[in-house]
Every structure is written in structure tokens, then in C-alpha cells.
Amino acid sequence: MLDLGEGLAVAFKVESHNHPSAVEPFQGAATGVGGILRDIAAMGARPVALLDGLRFGEPDDHFSRAVDGVGHYGNCVGVPNVGGEIVFDEDYASNCLVNAMCVGLLPAERVVRAKATAAGALVVLYGATTGRDGIGGASVLASAELGDDDADKRPSVQVGDPFTGKRLIEVSVELVERGLVRSLQDCGAAGLASSLSEMAADYGIDVRLDRVPQREEGMEPWEVMISESQERMVAIVEPERLGEVEAVIDRWELHRAVIGEVTATGILRATWNGEEVGAIPARLLTGECPRYAVAREPRTPPSETTTTTPPARQALRELLASPALRSRAFVTRRYDQLVQSRTVRRPGLDAAVLRLRPEWRGIAVTLDGQSRLGVLDPRLAGQLAILEAARNVACAGGEPIGFTDCLNFGNPEKPEVGWELAEAIEGMALACEALGVPVVSGNVSLYNDTDGRSIPPTPVVGCVGLVPDVRRVPRGWREGDAILLARSRSPLTFAGSEAQARWGSLGGSPSLDLASEGALVRYASRVAQHASLVHDAAEGGLAVALAEAALWSAAGAELDLEDDALTLFGEVGGQVIVALPSGDVEPDPTGADVEVRRIGTVGGDALLGIPLAELACAYEGEA
Amino acid sequence: MTELRPRIAVITFPGSNDDVDARLALEQLGAEVVPVWHATTELAADLGGIVLPGGFSYGDYLRCGAIARVAPVMGAVRAFAADGGPVLGICNGFQILCEAGLLPGVLRANRQLEFLCADVTVVVESDGTPFTAALTPGEELVIPIKHGEGNWVTDPALHAELVERGQVVLRYAEDVNGSLDRVAGVANEEGNVLGLMPHPEHAVDPLLGPTGGVPLLQGLVAAAHERLAGAGVA
């Protein structure tokens, strides 16, 4: 949670729902969205944006079902989906990744902590009833490898009900807004067991499991304790407030029950019809849980071999039309991008921008990850995941203020994966230091293995940036604008690039100059305040970025660029395209850390010799 | 002289999503918005208009609008409409009005069987409703749609009658969802009840996109104003 000034704060977090989505893509993705929404609502924040990171083998039916699931939940609860990333790569064919991020807003003084605050307070469960669905969701699915018996795991996938989810959000926000609860906690992975232990850590809770509203008969106490039935929330309520709390819940017609009370014992104790069925010092489940040292074994990446790209025009057309880089409109149009009337910049380029109405300030939001690079150098992948998220936000006119991360990795009991995990985290930390921006929340998804094979290390990073004035957000380059290229000192390379994936074989040792990359992010954010367009060159390199800018703006450009494959299609080294009215171009705005040079002028209806209509055809494909 | 702000009710069903957006848009256009909860059975006497907003009332379970049509508040909505009061149903509100029998036709799943969020061009076909009185037939408005079930249909005979009587008020310039005759919005015979799938409340602020919703909502505000003036309330 971060202070935005003017009495406003922002809460945001990304979470994975990979294994449920691998087993049952629609419900897996839907409940991923539902879970992150409740996390944000539990902080007392009203969810204002969703983003999703989807990584699949190919744009097939499995993928489409996951998109349906994301849209089903988000559209129905009335929270706009404004971006994210979609990656198709064979490495995710049997272990897809579904990462969901939610951003919420709240008054700065309203900070709710998920802790019980006084002995004698009541524990109130509200929302849906509890059933046998999703039992073992966290253990059967999230903490084990996938394999041939995945279909048998379907009963472990949670089932979402966005209508109840919507009412749960409304109740939760109202309870916090009116100061009726001491704290809230979402019932997520491991159900009551997890949420109660987090709340009981400092005090202790006695819970009467028989009082939990159940949707089927004959449930065992342990089933009630760990059921992952969706759309449930736990509140800690002072006894004198109970009547008001119940009235709010009843107005929205949700189930509710007082299921226990806060004690001073430090013990999480469960009873069933008055009989003790379990007790454990709550701290053993939270801060004092067992820790494991993970064995780490570095591996050497394959060295770089020559990547021979086709002639520039052909290469650009092929890249734009590839599943990896083509327009994502065929997915984003399946999501409500507009509800809540904040969306100043819709998804499609770098980051979306939401207005903090009634103010003119806004937030820029993005979700972006790395994977192929992680195979070569997980530390560098961690760095680049942070840098790209920051650049995306900066290009939309935001000053990055915080990150959230989702670490999707293989089985950490394998020393190589242990090493990948440690390296990626270290890389992210270094990049954050260089930017001076913190990571404020996150989630880890391990055991992403199928039949013994791990996914590539995949750090996915969400970023929120503060936009000083949404009326100045760059909208598109205009006829006659000067086009500048701002570059960091990090070298361009084919190592880990789209070009290498397509026309070479994965290998090499790319590198980053973090000080220079930090300066590039700051330059982009500054220049975006008066530029007509700022756009980050990411997958596919400079040529693809120029084409994206031209298509977004519906205007071509006269460019003066070397016909050199590395210049046009190289990646990793930070590059940002800037379009400015010619009169506004400053001679040397940044000093030595960032090189800025003019590469052309906006005009015409072609780019690099290809008519825009042809580029659009490649990029958009058939509708 | 104080500005007269006609009071317009925006009804919130559990699952309504665009109720806040409708309030913001109507306030921007000079109305005073009265939030009304679905469980309400009586509406204020000095109401100039009613909006049934977009969203997923009651989760759209059973069928879009099928549960909302029997919500406690709907009796008062019917009475208001029967009395000639302007009622605007947007998206889910349109679905509810069709289910309630206040508007003809039904809304099925989009031809693509997918939810669709996009700016679309709609053509004004009739100026015979208060919502379109200030517009000229043939005029084009750009307004976003965002729905999974906006594919309007009715039987051919009724459709021909509706066209004849000017009840087809808005058409998509191009087919977007399979809707019969590209119908985007229809009115009742009297013209005081209009349902449409596009979201005019999401097309009033140039900062957020196109502004084709302004004249339609202005039409509602003007009609609300007139009704109150006629009743001597304002």
C-alpha cells in the first residue's frame, strides 16, 4: 500500500493461479481474479483495475477458456481490465501461467491490518457457504508438480461466483468505510486455516467450526477448516458493533455467522460442537513456521550463435504477424475496459492510465514479465522484468512508485531451480535499488513442473506510477513531430530476443548497465509530460516498437536508421521512442547516462518502406 | 435565479456495475441523481426520469434481466413508464426492460459468443423519442459497447411493425453482434421508454473517449425537466 498524497492511497498485488488454470482453465482463471480482488478489498480498498498475465503454449482453446474465465469474473464484478501481458511459448504448453493483478484505491488514513486487535472481539465469517470444493487447492495443486493424473485433480479446483464476489466487495468496502470492523482477511489458499492463523498470530483465536454455514451435509471439521470455497471473508468485530455489521451483510443478502472470538492465548484453537478438534500456537503457522535452506546450483547458459534475420522488411512483417508479438486486441476486447469511468488510456501500448477522479492526477499501471532471458540469466531476467515494467509506466507519463511481483518457478527442491529463484530475486532487488522504487507486495508460485520438466524462470512484475496530470498523457504521434530515440548504455543483443527465438537458437550472455537504465526510466517519465508519444522498445526491438507506435497513432514516419539487424531487432539494452513537436526538441537533455538522437519525422502512410495498411494487416490479422 | 436540476433515479440492483458511471454522466449534464435500491417499492413523486444501468443484475443468473424484472422496485418503474415518464435502460437495463415486457424483443448471446468491448458507430433512426428529439435521423454517434448478450431479435412481423412505427431508434452502422437489422436501441410505442446496448454514460467525457452519448443523455435530462415543469414541481 502506498501513499499517493492528497489523502489518497493505492493498494496493489499480483497473484498466480497457475495449476488450477492448467487443470481447468475457465474456473482456474476466474477464481484467480476473484482471489486477488478479495485481497485488495480486505485491505479496505475499492478495486479499480485488473490486469492479467497469461502464458500459454499457443492461442488455442485452453487459452481462450482462460480468457473467458478472466473476463467472466472481472466483467461481472465491474472492475475494468486494463492490461497485462500475453505470451505464447511452447515451454508453457502443459503448465500455463495465469497471474492476476488488482489495483485498489482508499483514503490514506484507512489502513486495515489483517490482525486481530483485542481479546473478546468476535470473528465473523461472511459471503458464500462452505463446501468440499477446493479442498487441497493449495496443497494438491499449487504445491505439487503436474502430470498425467491432472484430470483427477479437477475436484480440487475452486469454483467462482462473481455475483457473490461483487456483493462481498461491496460489503467489505462499506464495513471498512464506516469503521465497523477491526480487520478483514480474505479466505484464500488453505481457507480458514490460513486466514485465521494470520489473524491470530499476535493474540489467539477460538473458532467453532460447527458454526460455519455449510453447503453440504456431513462435512468433517478438517474439511471445513481447509475448504477453499470461494467468496468468503473473515472480519474481526467488536461485540458492540456486531448489529451494524450484520445489517450491512444482510442488506447484500450474504451468509454470515459469528464463528469464534479473539483470545489472549496465542493459540489457534478449533472446536466442533464444543469438543476440541485442533490447537496450535498461531505463530508456528506464520512468522515462526519452519524455514528451508534451498540448495542452489548455477548452470551455464549456451553461448551465443549467429542469428541471421531475413531482410528488414520481411523480418518486420513476420515478427508483427507472429503469435508472440501480434496485436492483443482480440483478447482485450473481451474485457470491460471502461467501467468506473477512469480509463484515460486503454490497453494496447505500454501502460494504461486511470484518472483519480475528481482530481486530474492519475495512475499508470502495467504487468510485464520475462522468461526466455531467464533461461540464459535469471538475475538479468529479474532486472529486466523490473526495468520494463517501470519503462512502460514511464512511457505513459507515470513516475513509478511501486512494484508487485509474482515469481513463477519450477520445483525449488531442484538445486538449479533454487539457484534461479535466488538469482531472479537478487536481480529484481538490484534493479529496484537503481530506480529507488520499492516492491510492496507479491506472490510466489513454485512447482510449475510437468512430468519433471520445469517452466523457464518467469518473474512477472506489476508497476504503478503516479501521473501528475492525465490531460497530458501522450495520445499518439502527429504529422511533423520529430522522432527521437533514447538509449541506455546497455548493449543491444540478440541473446534472448524474439529474433533469436525465430531465426537462431537460444544462447548468449546479455548485460545491463543499471545506472544508465534508471536514468532512461526517469528521462521517459519526464519527457512524457510534453511528448505526443513515448513508447518502450521491448520484444522485437526498435523496428517492432516503431511499427506499434505508427499503428497506435495511425500515422507513418520517415526514418533515418541504419539497415542493420541488431539496430532494428536487437533487445535487452533499454530503448525508448519519443515523438515531440519539432520546436520542443532539446539539444542534450540527459547528460551521459542516456543517449538521445533524432531518427526521423512523423509523416506519410508507410514505415520502413511498408505501407501502414500492410503493417496493420500483419499486426491485427483476421478479426 | 437558481439552476433547475431535474431529479433522475438511477436504480441499483445487486450486480449493477455502471450505476456510478450513470450518476457521474448525468450529474455532468446537469441532473440531480437519486440512487434507488432494488428493494425500494415507492419512488419519490418529484422524479423526472429513471435509468436502469448496465451490469450483471443478480449475476445474470437464469437469463440476463430475468430476475431483475421481478425486483420489488419494478412495480414503481412500470407505473412511472405508464404515466409517460422517461425511462432509459442501458445494456443490462435494456435486457431488464425486454424481460419485463416494457420493450419488445429479446437479447441473445453475441454472434461471436464472446463478450465485446469496443467503440462503435450507431445511426439515429428516429427522432420520435424524448432521447433523440434534438437529433436528426441519419446522424451518427460513436459510443462504446461492452456486452456478451446484445444480439437483439424479435419475430419478423413485429420487427416490421416496429420499424414502421419508428420504434427502432438506433442502429449499428455495421453489424457488431449479430443483432437483427443491426438494431442497437428500441423504444416502446409511446417513445418514453428506450433501451439500448451501447453505453451513453461512457461517452460523455473527451478525456475518456468518444462523446456520442451526450445528446442521448441530454435528451433524458431535458425530458425529465419538462416532466417536472409540467407537473409544477420545478
Q: What is the pLDDT of residues A459-473, one digit of tens each?
A: 999 999 999 999 999
Pair B196, B95: CB distance under 8 Å: no
* pLDDT tens for each residue of A157-178: 778 899 999 999 999 999 998 9
Query: From the candidates B125, B201, B202, B225, which is the catalytic residue?
Result: B201
Half-sphere exposure of A18 (CA within 13 A, CB side): 33
B-chain CB neighbours of A471 within 8 Å are 207
Which pLDDT does position A592 carry in this prediction? 76
A535 touches B: beta carbon within 8 Å = no
Tell me: pLDDT of A188 over 90: no
- Segment A511-522 mean pLDDT: 96
Contact state of A339 with B208 under an 8 Å Cβ cutoff:
no
How far is it, in rounded angstroms, from Cα B67 to Cα A81?
Answer: 27
B-chain CB neighbours of A333 within 8 Å are 116-118
Label residue A343 by pLDDT band (50, 70, 90).
Answer: very high
Which pLDDT does position A590 carry in this prediction? 64
Tell me: pLDDT of B64 over 60: yes
B91 in catalytic set? yes
- Segment A34-62 mean pLDDT: 95
A-chain CB neighbours of B208 within 8 Å are 338, 341-344, 355
Contact state of A334 with B115 under an 8 Å Cβ cutoff:
yes
Tell me: pLDDT of A137 over 80: no
In a domain, A159, yes or no: yes
A 329-348: CB under 8 A from B? 332-344, 346
B98 in catalytic set? no
How far is it, in rounded angstroms, from Cα B127 to Cα B133?
Answer: 5
**CA-based nearest residue to A372, from A543, A227, A504:** A504
B201 in catalytic set? yes
Q: What is the CATH number of the domain that holds A279?
A: 3.90.650.10
B-chain CB neighbours of A358 within 8 Å are none
Contact state of B60 with A71 under an 8 Å Cβ cutoff:
no
Pair A590, A486: CB distance under 8 Å: yes
In a domain, A405, yes or no: no
- Segment A396-410 mean pLDDT: 97
Pair B172, B182: CB distance under 8 Å: yes
Pair A546, A486: CB distance under 8 Å: no
* Cell matching residue A261: 472470538
- Segment B5-33 mean pLDDT: 97
B207 touches A: beta carbon within 8 Å = yes
* pLDDT tens for each residue of A572-599: 999 999 999 987 777 656 677 899 999 9
Contact state of B207 with A162 under an 8 Å Cβ cutoff:
no
Query: Scanning the structure block, which residue is given the C-alpha cell 509474482?
Result: A406
The reported pTM is 0.94
How far is it, in rounded angstroms, from Cα A253 to Cα B135?
Answer: 43
**CA-based nearest residue to A86, from A412, A386, A334:** A334
Average pLDDT score over chain A? 92
| Chain centroid to CA A489 | 28
In a domain, A19, yes or no: no
| All structural domains of chain B with their residue ranges | 7-230
- DSSP H or E stretch at residue A472: none
Which is higher by pLDDT, A282 or A66?
A: A66
Lowest mean pLDDT among A102-106, A451-455, B221-225: A451-455
Interface with A, mutate which of B24, B27, B56, B120 (most A CBs under 10 A): B56
Query: From the candidates B38, B147, B159, B199, which is the catalytic residue?
Result: B199
Tell me: pLDDT of B234 over 50: no
- Segment B124-143 mean pLDDT: 97
Domain span at residue A235 reads 112-291
Among residues A291, A320, A345, which one ends one of the domains? A291
ipTM greater than 0.90, yes or no? yes
**Range with the largest mean pLDDT of A183-187, A261-265, A321-325, B72-76:** B72-76
Label residue A5 by pLDDT band (50, 70, 90).
Answer: very high
Query: Which of A78, A163, A341 minimises the CB distance to B24?
Result: A341
Which is higher by pLDDT, A152 or A608?
A: A608
* Cell matching residue B98: 425486454
* pLDDT tens for each residue of A427-448: 999 999 999 999 999 999 999 9
A-chain CB neighbours of B120 within 8 Å are none
B17 touches A: beta carbon within 8 Å = yes
B142 touches A: beta carbon within 8 Å = no
Q: Which CA distances in Å does B116 have to A234, A402, B57, B153, B176? A: 35, 32, 18, 18, 9
Tell me: pLDDT of A151 over 80: no
Contact state of B208 with A470 under an 8 Å Cβ cutoff:
no
Give B74 to chain A, closest Cα distance, Å: 18
* Cell matching residue B143: 459510443
How far is it, in rounded angstroms, from Cα A431 to Cα A515?
Answer: 9
DSSP characters over A559-604: E-----HHHHH-EES-EEEEEE-GGG--S-SSGGGSEEEEEEEE-S
Among residues A244, A273, A291, which one ends one of the domains? A291
Contact state of A76 with B56 under an 8 Å Cβ cutoff:
yes
In a domain, A116, yes or no: yes
* pLDDT tens for each residue of A518-574: 999 999 999 999 999 999 999 999 999 999 999 999 999 999 999 999 999 999 999
Label residue B1 by pLDDT band (50, 70, 90).
Answer: very low
How far is it, in rounded angstroms, from Cα B112 to Cα A415?
Answer: 47
Interface with B, mutate which of A161, A252, A327, A339 (most B CBs under 10 A): A339
Interface with B, mutate which of A68, A254, A341 (most B CBs under 10 A): A341
- Segment A597-619 mean pLDDT: 95
- Segment A27-56 mean pLDDT: 95
Which pLDDT does position A154 carry in this prediction? 55
Label residue A204 by pLDDT band (50, 70, 90).
Answer: very high
Residue of A nearest to B56 (CA): A76
* Residues in CB range of A617: below 8 A, 6 or more apart: none
Query: From the candidates B91, B99, B159, B225, which is the catalytic residue?
Result: B91
Contact state of B61 with A163 under an 8 Å Cβ cutoff:
yes
Name the percent of chain A lying above pLDDT 70.
95
Among residues A272, A291, A310, which one ends one of the domains? A291
Rg (CA), chain B: 16
Residue of B nearest to A82 (CA): B117
In a domain, A599, yes or no: yes
Which pLDDT does position A623 carry in this prediction? 40
For residue A341, the 8-state DSSP code is S
The number of domains in chain A is: 2
Q: What is the CATH code for B7-230?
A: 3.40.50.880
A552 touches B: beta carbon within 8 Å = no
For residue A282, the 8-state DSSP code is G
A-chain CB neighbours of B217 within 8 Å are none
> In the A/B pair of chains, how many CB contacts fall below 8 A?
87
Give A78 to chain B, closest Cα distance, Å: 5
B28 touches A: beta carbon within 8 Å = no
Rg (CA), chain A: 25
Contact state of A76 with B59 under an 8 Å Cβ cutoff:
yes
Tell me: pLDDT of A622 over 70: no
- Segment A310-328 mean pLDDT: 95
Give B76 to chain A, closest Cα distance, Å: 20
B-chain CB neighbours of A335 within 8 Å are 115, 117
